[in-house]
Amino acid sequence: MKKKKIGFISDNMPWDKRTWSGTKSKIYEQISKCNVEVIWIPVKFNFLTHIYKICLFLITRLLKKRYSIIHTTFVAKQLSRSIDKSLLESVDLIFAVSGSQYLYKLETTKPIIYLADATFTLLYNYYDRVSNFLPFNVKQGNLIELTALNKASKIIASSDWCKASIENDYGINPNKVYVIEFGANVDEKDIKNNIVTPKKESNSMLNILFLAVEWKRKGGEIAIDCVKRLNEMRIPTKLYIVGTDVPIHHKNESFIESIGFLNKNKENEYCQFIKIIKQCDILLLPTKAECAGIAFCEASAYQLPIFTYDTGGIPNYVENGINGYRLPLSCTGEDFAQKIKTVVEQNKLPSLKDGCNHLYNNKLNWEHWRLIFEKTFLNKI
């Protein structure tokens, strides 16, 4: 029987582990494991886009505003029309990951699956970089989003938070929106056996992982303050910082182990990442804005109870009392320290590790994503 062909629309190589925190490459990998042929359909920026970007930069700098070229109809039209029509015609199904602009002026009769971790409405004024736009940029961002959602035959949302916005903010029929959580962006063979580690002795070192590329948004200062206070509470704690550099004023802190950014495309750096996550006990990620958070899937895979804020799409990935705790956005580093102290002293870490194991095996893994995708979408084309 002839294999179905899926066109994977992307502006960069979908197998590159550096893009979208490696999520896009995992999605590409999982779809390729189905009984289909996956064809990359590139999207290309042209010279006019760069000129337009310079113009927007100058205007917004003058007016002390921000901008997003991909949320303008000028660029969305160019990107969607840059797609090779012959490639479109050669496939049976089109798949687009978080690329509403790719679908804006796309002309095709082929069914489209659109995957989103957030809508423009959710992102605007939630992320610092997606805020303070000129009015036309906001209006066009919403128009591009609405157009993509309407064009899609089926929509995959990575969280209930995202699904609710698709339905309530854009009026999309709930029957075509499905929630499938992401998985861990590590190779399955590298995930350790799911055996809960023995009880941690009260005087042994507590190794906490801070895993993030963005220092401010992900709560780097709060994480450091938390670990500093844990040590003051006589809970020996070390903070491993992976993904970003530590600000200069924290360089001499004895309880910090700064690793920096690790490129998972490079075997030695990927192995270093696996080694670090295996030796940690807890993931501390007090992020102020988060659509989903692959770090939560990776922490669950390696049985690291999670301490984070209650915001965005996080509730689909961190369940209170199961694989960690979501604290109110008003909480400080001291509040996080007190929560962790309570969990350690009440010997709750083993049950949280158990919960990590359960959630990872039942929904926060890529095999689960693929099985739902295959059953829900591929069996119907």
pLDDT digits (tens, 9 = 90+) for 276-306: 999 999 999 999 999 988 999 999 999 999 9
Q: How confident is the model at residue 196 (pLDDT cuts 50, 70, 90)?
A: very low
- Contact indicator for 322, 345 with CB cutoff of 8 Å: no
Homologous superfamily of 188-362: Glycogen Phosphorylase B; (3.40.50.2000)
Which tens digit of pLDDT belongs to each residue from 164-182?
Answer: 999 999 999 999 999 999 9
Which tens digit of pLDDT belongs to each residue from 131-143?
Answer: 999 999 999 999 9
Question: Which among 87, 40, 96, 36 is positioned nearest to 381, based on CA atoms?
Answer: 36
Q: What is the pTM of this model?
A: 0.92
| Total residues belonging to the chain | 381
- Rounded to whole angstroms, the Cα distance separating 166 from 145 reads 9
DSSP annotation of 203 reads T
CATH fold for the domain made of 4-183+365-380: Rossmann fold (3.40.50)
Mean pLDDT of all residues in 355-362: 95
Please write down the HEC assignment for all residues of 304-324: CCEEEECCCCHHHCCCECCCE
What are 29's two structure tokens? 């990998």
Intrachain domains 4-183+365-380 and 188-362 with the same fold: yes
Strand order through the sheet with 324-327: 256-260, 237-242, 206-211, 282-285, 306-309, 324-327
Structural domain spans, the chain: 4-183+365-380, 188-362
